Structure formats: C-alpha cells, structure tokens
Amino acid sequence: MAELDFSFSAIDYDSLQNEEITIQEFIDIALRPSSYDEESPMDIIGNILMEPHSHEGGAPEISGVEIVEVEFDKKKK
C-alpha cells in the first residue's frame, strides 16, 4: 500500500483531534489543490497511481480520485 505524507494546517488538525470535523472533511480540506503553491497532495497521488504504468507508453490521464477507505490513529500524529 502506498503511503502519502503531506503538510496541513495545525488548526485543521486540532479540529480533527477534537472531533469537530470528520476524517473525510479533514482529507477534503488538506488535499484541496488550491491550498498549495506547487505540487498538491492530489498531484502526488496521481503520480503514485501513474508510476506503475509509465512503461506502457501513451498519455494516460486521471480524471478523478475517490478515497474510499481511510485509517486514522489519534495516537500517531
């Protein structure tokens, strides 16, 4: 399984820890491409998904990504 590390707002993280927002809401906020000046986490996810297919030639395109399962352990930051 691929693992993605990315930066996020301390305020958003505190809201998650305090259960003011759900993990899905946190992910939606943290992965929003407009939050990043350069490469967003969604860009990185796209690269992770495309890498195994790079040897196949052509120009595949990812038109959307849906996160269907998330694990969050409050003990691990």
Q: What is the pLDDT of residue 20?
A: 95
Please determine, for residue 58, whether its predicted confidence score (pLDDT) is greater than 90.
no
**For residues 13-34, average pLDDT:** 84
H/E element holding 43? helix 41-50
Stated pTM of the model: 0.55
Res. 21 pLDDT band, cuts 50 70 90? very high
CA distances to 9, 42, 46, 70 from 66, in Å: 22, 11, 11, 11
Please determine, for residue 71, whether its predicted confidence score (pLDDT) is greater than 80.
no
DSSP label at residue 38: S
